[in-house]
Structure 1
Amino acid sequence: MYFTKSDTRCPANGILWLVMAVSLVFQSCTFRADAPTVTTHQVAGQQTLFDFNDPGNKMPETAAEKEVDINNLLDEMTLREKIGQLFFIRARGYFKNVEDESYRALASKVKNYNLGGIVFFKGSIYGQAVLTNRLQELSDIPLWMTQDMEFGAAMRVEQTTRLTPAMGIAATQNPDYAYLAGKITAQEAKVLGVRQIFAPVLDVNNNPRNPVINVRSFSGNPDTVALYGQRFIDGVQSQRVVATAKHFPGHGDTDTDSHRALPVINHDYDRLKKVELAPFEQAINHGLQSVMSAHIAFPKISSNPQYPGTLDPSILNRILVDSLNFKGLVVTDGLEMRGISAHYSPGEAVTLALKAGADMMLLSLDEITAIQEVERAVERGEISEARIDRSVRKILEKKRQAGLFRDRKVDLEQLNVKIKSLENELIADEIARNSLTLLKNEGGILPITADKYPRVLVISVTDTDAEEKGTALVKEMRKYHPSVRHGVIYRDISSEDRSELTENVRWADLIVIGAHMYINSSGSSQFNLSQRRWLEQLPAQTPKALITFGNPYAVKDLPAANVQLLAWDGSDHQLENTAPALFGASGISGRLPINIPGAYDMNEGISLPQSTIRYDLAEAAGLSGEKLYQVDQLMHEAIFDSTFPGGIVTVLKDGIVAYQKAFGYETYEKVNPVYNGDIYDLASLTKIIGTTTAMMKLVDEGRIALDDKVGDYFPEFEEGLKSQVTIQNLLLHNSGLPPFRIYVDELQTRHELVEAVKNEPLINDPGTTYKYSDLGFILMGEIVHEVTGKRLDEYMHETFYRPLGMRSTRFNPRKAGKWIVNRIPPTERDTIYRHKTVRAQAHDERAYYMDGVAGHAGLFSSGSDIATYAQMLINKGSYGGNQYISPSTVEQFTRRQSELNNRGYGFDRKSEEGLSTAGTLASDQSFGHTGFTGTSFWVDPQRDLAIIILTNRTYPYRSYGRDISKVRADVADAVISSIIE
């Protein structure tokens, strides 16, 4: 993962190389139909080629598959049994008791009418699998299970892998995503027993008023539809599942929903061939196995202008079969749709469809009546039995090729292995993130920062009564922003909810509007009138960001929105993968695959790089989640051994917080568990995250030089050996100052303690001896005050912590209130100075008596905040699009700077000999620091890796418990061992 200030290139992909070891090939950042048809993948260290010109990537048939003689089977079947094979009926894949009336009706049809198969609609994984097995037992001939799966199995089956709709996949500019989407869909379909999926949509979405296709299409460009559609088909057929291209000859240029009426397209053949037919023609030439017809009339190309395409021989026989030479399965769209059922009886519709060239009859309104009527039509000579045989033979052949005559049942043991696998989920997440398309970003609102917009209101607008719409987006946003509120403008919103929403509008610094709605074929507005009026009354001075979830044309309804972002789906999966991009935690790189008339042209889009950390799975960052359980074991063992009562481990890799877990309790009483967001006394990590960082900034700005004499700031260092001490000596701990003095037995004010440190005599000549010293950092904290006019806490908060979003990082956390104090475990029962349990106050006595603000100790922070800080260092001083410290200064401070030891300026580095708390596997370039209270962080820049451990190992007493050094080292080694090479 690379963090840059700007990057308009195609995005690098962080998941595929890890999960599938796939090397994705990006040809350009524009839609191209001439992209290569062969791509190289790395699988288990071996190169393999997927040839997209291989028709369907077909596998050779096994001997067992060849055993069934389809001709003999046909000869043995009665006419009615043959006709039954043409029909595919609706089923819901949920659990049903065998005495349930809906199950009895379904089972009766399967047993008595020799049906060809099932069209599954909504269901659950085990419900559909068990029902499949029951129905297969009832049928003499194996059933052919089919299902609509345009955006993955999750389109119909709960808890399966959800994939971005076709248009979003095309927005990624990466055709290989289409292949992987098809492959994942087919993998999960197959393990569910589904052998044919009704996808992809090859319609060209060139009509903005189309109420039924929209984001189901890849693009408004036929070449793009052809390219991405073919890749999807190849992915499906690589798993020996049948893909079905739809809706032939094209449903893109309509403004009528064929579910409700019969659309009419008045284009001539030349136009259809150039646009609508082009994707189907390419797919057929590359081995497409199935086509679904459209219930649309084409009067200018048909000798039967009143017929919908499904019933029209001019469409299916003359164009599809004769002109395009298609030999596969022809599937009707649902015969229950009003484009058919409003004009034809069940049997008449099927008879006409057979005459037109269709093979599989989906979802007749009345299958039993239709079977009877078709039988009579054959008996009357209206249609021949040979014509019936032709279609039945195709269907039986598919069943034979799929091995269903040998094994027709679902293996229930494979469901929890192959469905919604981590591999599939990571790929789906990556596609969703890379599909996001930014069309407008006035004022650089994205990425959002809490510093610029402290209060964010999310308004979800929906054309349904879903009062909870958008909650997944808000939940994810709260990982990146401390103050996000949410309201929903649902269809019949109550006056109370509207009033509350109006109050929140006045509270907000930024309003994010999430549009969750279907396309409106009126073409005038996608929001209803009352919603639009309310949105137009939002205060003009408050910036607004519009995100469309599934209806890209809605951007035209709010042209004044400062941000217009397209997310292609309203599912929780898409919402969860949209939220990080709003804050720079994932990049935005999509390009518009359609024209939005009057607003945007095809291929438009603004690129934003990832610039902040993202919270994601371990595998998303190239770590093995399974191997990281070793960290869990180490932490549990350390708690059991009383090394510390509890703690948090945070792992940052490639810009991703890939592991963050809390362990144990705040104290050994084991009453209050530790949580991921808890805040710890950092002790000496203050030297780095506070003082050293301040010095880096001031050196960068030329306000301090490393060779400045300390005497330039304090007269106590103007004479004798002390006059030789430089800031560089203080940073390297070779100033000659002693490690520490107690002082606080007698001196308990900030002024007294600082003066005592200034007057402390040296114990060694400057630059000759390494002695780790708190005193030198106390002096540097005061130098920051001298140079900036601000105390260290104020300077760091204004310069770093607040703009970086490190909201939990602060000195004197008690001043922030209970919301932060309650997240801080105690550090010690102080029986000497304060005579109480120390909590949310500096554990170090000198820092405590220095009003809680000292250059060596006193800072509190969380694992997430330190991860942000670590990423800033990994980025060479850059974070969130801002350069805080120059790269040269970061490199200078973090590399070895002393011949006396391996330390950098302020930073510790991995020890060259003996035990290092960075572990044995960290690179030699690793840098970091540890804190007395049991805190540590190490950065390995060669691996883009940071390991942060926060504990209160000083509780109940600083002498209590075991040495934490080995735990730190072992955790670091366990993390590095989890990296997937």
Structure 2
Amino acid sequence: MKHQSIIHYFSNAVVCILLASAILYLGGCKSSEPFELKTTDRTHLSEPQPSNGHIERISEMSGTIPVDSMLNSLTLDEKIGQLFSVPAYGSFTNEHDPGFLRLKRLIRDYHIGGIIFFRGDVYGQAILHNKLQRTAKLPLWVSQDMEFGAAMRVEGTTRFTPAMGVAATGNPENAYLKGKITAREAKALGVHQIYAPVLDVNNNPDNPVINVRSFSADPDLVALFGMNMIEGIESEGILATAKHFPGHGDTDVDSHLNLPVINHGITRLEEIELVPFRKAVNNGLRSVMSAHIAYPNVSTNGNLPGTLDESILRSLLIDELGFNGLVVTDGLEMQGIAANFSPGEAVVLALKAGADKMLISPDEMTAIHELKRAVQSGTISEERIDRSVRKILSLKAEHGLFENRMVNTDDLSYTIDTPEYRAISERIARESVTLLKNDGNVLPVRDVDYLNVLAVALSDDQSGSTGSGWARELRKYHNNVSFHVLDRRTSEEEIDEMRKDAMKADLIIIGSFIVVRSSQPMQIQPEQLEIINELTAGETPSVLMAFGNPYVVRDVPDADVHLMAWSASRSQIDQTVPALFGASHITGQLPIRIPGMYEIGDGIEMRQSTLRYDTPEAVGMSGDSLLAIDMIMQEAINDSVFPGGVVAVMHKGALVWNNGYGYYDYSKTKEISANEVYDLASLTKVVATTTSIMKLVDEGLIGLDDPVQQYIPEFSEGIKKNVTIRHLLLHTSGLPAFKVYVDELQTRDEIISAVRREPLISDPGEEYEYSDLGFILLGEIVEQVSGRRLDRYVRTEMFYPMGMYSTHFNPSAVGGWMSNRIPPTEIDTVYERGLVQGVVHDERAYYMEGVAGHAGLFSTARDLAVYSYMLLNGGLYAGERYLSDSVINEFTEQRSELSNRGFGFDRKSSGFSTAGSLSGPNTFGHTGFTGTSIWIDPDRETAIILLTNRVHPNRSYGSGIGEVRAKVADTVLGSIVSDKEQSL
């Protein structure tokens, strides 16, 4: 072939020189060396590890080709074809599909140089990419619009919050990471150029096309975040594209539908619109996309669209700003162009104006034909075409496309949408949430304050399913949410149901899913707004959550809460709802102005104060490592340590693991789920009794050195008068470890009376003797001081307001919804209780009506995670203080010279510990005889909860429970990647 014969005239040395010249020609090119951290603040993303899979290297033009020689070898038809990028959809395509055959014909017969992929999926796009590359003589330049991450176009990839949400985080590094991860996935898919970021300054609230696609209404913020995103993209060797020059932010017309006209003069453009572009060009910007907008007071060509206007591209961008990179047109099929210019005319004018790459011509074959005729007639020179083709070929050479143009499909499964990428995207989404109004301190929402919630998903479509994922997420955090959709298909009957639920609601939450769509108004439709106003007209507090167009708050100004969420993606919803309930920090700052309401920089900060449900990677843990828990639990079940159990892991405020294993009993007919309610046994000592004492100490109603005789008259004589609350908590009171009592005494009053009269076996403070009896007395002291029995006191003061709804004494009395979730403990043949299920296993607590200071409490792993988080959060939960930070520290630190215990709490022991070998020295918690444990490492902000019924069917089982606890703990702590968010 003609091209191949040319190749062999040139040595590799010449190739290198010519390629270097080509890169210098483009100007401002970034190095494609592997990414290195530029600052210590930047989150490191290590390179994906290559697989051993075969990488195809298919090219009809073997070797590396000097660009100028290659250009000279091309025919005019081949040169013209290189200027065009045609659309393709990256989903499965049959070989005989007309669309696929048309693409092949354009590539083969019209020498098309580029593909722009639209919607598709990972493997569909990769396979089609390779098919099309095989068809092309010269490698195809592949591009894609990825403003919101690769997931904007490719299903199965990582989705990011829109630009405006990224700016709301206040951290430009988030823009860098967004760009870097997007580029990584683009590269894996064979994409060479990303049409992002948007550098438009969105200073027009009625802009129907830019909106959240822009970083801000502040040109300096747009520049800052835009340049960081560009750097992130280009750090991976992918070409970024700033758009839409010279600015699409101040329009109220969508250029997809018509030609917008901006009447500002050059002075105004210099002050606002051009600021981000100028800074980006000075920072080495390599590609720009033009805007189909007329600027009659800047141009000498009246209302000619900027894409076709030499005054805009040649004079302003290239000459004035000094840009010498690749200029790409916006889609030429858009009505701002196509309605007024023929396909060929648009291309000729765009080339004359200074554009290089023609994107999505409405009729490529006609445009190519007309462009060739224009060259032949002298309307445009071949040399002008050569200038653009040289840029395109230089980029293809720079990206190594003449050596390897194919996608390695073997690597896609570990280079796309990794857990680490998702964790970063979700963190950015979480940090983007912006609270602008919180009248009446509605947030954080607590069940106890708002028992009934009405959630209305407001949409401008007619699917009927909008907001269903939002409703599911709301119900994770609130038990009683009624949900309705208000869209264009909502019937009068459904609206009546909304009205009825609104009458019963204690809180109304409006989720606005009004998106920016130029084909219809951006705000709430008048008929919908009338209904919203009716629902919120009373005294019931209301919340507006804007999942999309942020300016919609202008329609509902009187809502008590305005919360910005920026997009309606599932990831954004999942990361926004927790903020409503105090389960994540709210730190976002508004990057735009909402006229008459809010200014740039507005935002109310609110710290996390409730447990969040999240992934291990979101808090710096390895989900892969945590999978070892599955094997530990399965082996224990196989060895009959217990028939089943639940493991929960809470780290840095997030419940990242909560899984059930095995069965209720050894018949293996009923599986364990994560929400089973277990008999906690001696965990009662800390979760109920110690916590109650802590609260009473906090309130000054009890002192640690108060004599017990002050509350228990039987301690008024002999050495018993020296026993204090401190002694009882530290198990140094002198009371014996255990007394059966119930062989003869089987009423609550009889047992309590016997414990009160029990003689000491040593002087107070002299010996450590772990004693249930001391905690039975502490439970009685709680009742003496508070005037309420222990179960009612701790339920009212702590469990219920904290949302620990499955934490009860005597759970079988609560109702079937709870009693049906309780695995059995022992089959009791001594006291003839038979199968013990739904009632306390401990005999003394059983005969004490199920309520005692040492045993009797039942709970779930989730509720214990809530309890753990409250302790780690300094006693705060859902914005309410339950304990002081000082009393928590006092009770959980070592407080005895005779043992390593704190007040009530056990602590990690030296040598073997069921808290594991990796837990820190400040780890505290407790274990329970039935096979339960909770260990909290405050230095790592981690709680490890294991609930089992290891005493089933009798106490001879479960001898290996200590080793299981330690293995689980070490697996959890070993899965912590670092104390700082990292990836890979």
**TM-score scaled by length of structure 1:** 0.92
- TM-superposed CA distance for 1:453, in Å, is 1.5
Q: Distance in 2 between matches of 1:926 and 1:765?
A: 29
Contact 2:259–2:293 (CA<8 Å) still a contact in 1? Answer: yes
Using the TM superposition, name which of 523-532 and 354-363 deviates more: 523-532
- Pairing partner for 2:789 from 791, 808, 815: 791
Q: Distance in 1 between matches of 2:571 and 2:562?
A: 20
Residue 736 of structure 2 is matched in structure 1 by 738
Q: Distance in 1 between matches of 2:431 and 2:786?
A: 43
SS in structure 1 at match of 2:775 = helix
- 1:499-898 to 2 correspondences below 5 Å: 499-519=496-516, 526-538=523-535, 539-898=537-896
Contact 2:452–2:504 (CA<8 Å) still a contact in 1? Answer: yes
Q: Distance in 2 between matches of 1:317 and 1:877?
A: 64
- Pairing partner for 1:395 from 386, 392, 410: 392
- TM-superposed CA distance for 1:439, in Å, is 0.3
Using the TM superposition, name which of 758-767 and 795-804 deviates more: 758-767
- Pairing partner for 1:373 from 356, 364, 370: 370
Residue 105 of structure 1 is matched in structure 2 by 102
- TM-superposed CA distance for 1:563, in Å, is 0.4
Residue 334 of structure 2 is matched in structure 1 by 337
Describe the superposition over 1:517-538 as per-residue Cα deviations: whole angstroms up to 9, x where unpaired. 1347799971001110000001
Q: Distance in 2 between matches of 1:907 and 1:38?
A: 43
> CA distance change for structure 1 residues 22 and 721 in 2, over 3 Å: closer, same or farther?
farther
Contact 1:65–1:400 (CA<8 Å) still a contact in 2? Answer: no
Contact 2:514–2:522 (CA<8 Å) still a contact in 1? Answer: no
- TM-superposed CA distance for 1:289, in Å, is 1.1
Residue 215 of structure 1 is matched in structure 2 by 212
Q: Which amino acid aligns with 2:276?
A: P
Residue 410 of structure 1 is matched in structure 2 by 407
SS in structure 1 at match of 2:155 = coil
Q: Distance in 2 between matches of 1:131 and 1:520?
A: 30
Q: Which amino acid aligns with 1:150?
A: E
Describe the superposition over 1:407-459 as per-residue Cα deviations: whole angstroms up to 9, x where unpaired. 00101011111111122111101110111111001111111111211222221
Contact 1:517–1:549 (CA<8 Å) still a contact in 2? Answer: yes
Q: Distance in 2 between matches of 1:88 and 1:876?
A: 58
Residue 93 of structure 1 is matched in structure 2 by 90
Contact 2:84–2:114 (CA<8 Å) still a contact in 1? Answer: yes
- Pairing partner for 1:199 from 196, 201, 206: 196
Using the TM superposition, name which of 255-264 and 421-430 deviates more: 421-430
Residue 29 of structure 1 is matched in structure 2 by none
Q: Distance in 2 between matches of 1:334 and 1:655?
A: 46
- TM-superposed CA distance for 1:40, in Å, is 5.0
Contact 2:516–2:522 (CA<8 Å) still a contact in 1? Answer: no
- TM-superposed CA distance for 1:608, in Å, is 0.6
Q: Distance in 2 between matches of 1:42 and 1:134?
A: 37
Contact 2:158–2:416 (CA<8 Å) still a contact in 1? Answer: yes
Describe the superposition over 1:369-398 as per-residue Cα deviations: whole angstroms up to 9, x where unpaired. 111111111111111111111111111111
Q: Which amino acid aligns with 2:544?
A: L
Q: Distance in 2 between matches of 1:760 and 1:235?
A: 72
Q: Which amino acid aligns with 1:635?
A: M
1:935 is the counterpart of 2:932: yes
SS in structure 1 at match of 2:508 = strand
- Pairing partner for 2:439 from 442, 448, 452: 442
Contact 1:653–1:944 (CA<8 Å) still a contact in 2? Answer: yes
Q: Distance in 2 between matches of 1:490 and 1:22?
A: 49
> CA distance change for structure 1 residues 351 and 109 in 2, over 3 Å: closer, same or farther?
same
1:246 is the counterpart of 2:221: no
- TM-superposed CA distance for 1:38, in Å, is 6.1
Residue 972 of structure 1 is matched in structure 2 by 969
- TM-superposed CA distance for 1:503, in Å, is 2.8
> CA distance change for structure 1 residues 45 and 546 in 2, over 3 Å: closer, same or farther?
closer
Contact 2:723–2:733 (CA<8 Å) still a contact in 1? Answer: yes
Q: Distance in 1 between matches of 2:913 and 2:296?
A: 80
SS in structure 1 at match of 2:629 = helix
Q: Which amino acid aligns with 1:818?
A: G
> CA distance change for structure 1 residues 317 and 22 in 2, over 3 Å: closer, same or farther?
closer
Q: Distance in 1 between matches of 2:957 and 2:172?
A: 60
- TM-superposed CA distance for 1:779, in Å, is 1.3
Describe the superposition over 1:20-47 as per-residue Cα deviations: whole angstroms up to 9, x where unpaired. 9999xxxxxxxxxxxxx9665475999x
Residue 56 of structure 2 is matched in structure 1 by none
Residue 5 of structure 1 is matched in structure 2 by none
Q: Distance in 2 between matches of 1:879 and 1:445?
A: 15
Contact 1:65–1:402 (CA<8 Å) still a contact in 2? Answer: no
- Pairing partner for 1:485 from 482, 499, 507: 482
Q: Distance in 1 between matches of 2:146 and 2:974?
A: 39
Contact 2:261–2:303 (CA<8 Å) still a contact in 1? Answer: no
SS in structure 2 at match of 1:376 = helix
Contact 2:908–2:921 (CA<8 Å) still a contact in 1? Answer: yes
Contact 2:42–2:173 (CA<8 Å) still a contact in 1? Answer: no
Residue 14 of structure 1 is matched in structure 2 by none
Describe the superposition over 1:743-765 as per-residue Cα deviations: whole angstroms up to 9, x where unpaired. 22232221222122222222223
Q: Distance in 2 between matches of 1:898 and 1:290?
A: 69
- 1:129-278 to 2 correspondences below 5 Å: 129-278=126-275
Q: Distance in 1 between matches of 2:36 and 2:298?
A: 45
1:325 is the counterpart of 2:322: yes
> CA distance change for structure 1 residues 696 and 956 in 2, over 3 Å: closer, same or farther?
same
Describe the superposition over 1:845-881 as per-residue Cα deviations: whole angstroms up to 9, x where unpaired. 1111211111111001111111111122223323333
1:956 is the counterpart of 2:957: no
> CA distance change for structure 1 residues 266 and 43 in 2, over 3 Å: closer, same or farther?
closer
- TM-superposed CA distance for 1:978, in Å, is 2.2
Describe the superposition over 1:875-920 as per-residue Cα deviations: whole angstroms up to 9, x where unpaired. 33233332222222222211222222222211112223x4322222
Q: Which amino acid aligns with 2:213?
A: R
SS in structure 2 at match of 1:448 = coil
- TM-superposed CA distance for 1:612, in Å, is 1.7
Describe the superposition over 1:516-567 as per-residue Cα deviations: whole angstroms up to 9, x where unpaired. 1134779997100111000000142211110111111001111110000101
Q: Which amino acid aligns with 2:694?
A: M
Residue 60 of structure 1 is matched in structure 2 by none
Describe the superposition over 1:451-471 as per-residue Cα deviations: whole angstroms up to 9, x where unpaired. 211222221101011322122
- TM-superposed CA distance for 1:922, in Å, is 2.1
Q: Distance in 1 between matches of 2:183 and 2:473?
A: 30
> CA distance change for structure 1 residues 518 and 42 in 2, over 3 Å: closer, same or farther?
closer
Segments of structure 2 that go 5 or more residues without pairing to the other structure are: 1-33, 48-60, 979-984
What is the count of residue pairs matched by the alignment? 931
Q: Distance in 1 between matches of 2:909 and 2:89?
A: 63
Q: Which amino acid aligns with 1:863?
A: A
Using the aligned pairs only, state the percent identity. 55
**TM-score scaled by length of structure 2:** 0.92
- TM-superposed CA distance for 1:974, in Å, is 2.3
- TM-superposed CA distance for 1:658, in Å, is 2.5
- TM-superposed CA distance for 1:275, in Å, is 1.0
Using the TM superposition, name which of 247-256 and 764-773 deviates more: 764-773
Residue 33 of structure 1 is matched in structure 2 by none
Q: Distance in 2 between matches of 1:979 and 1:315?
A: 54
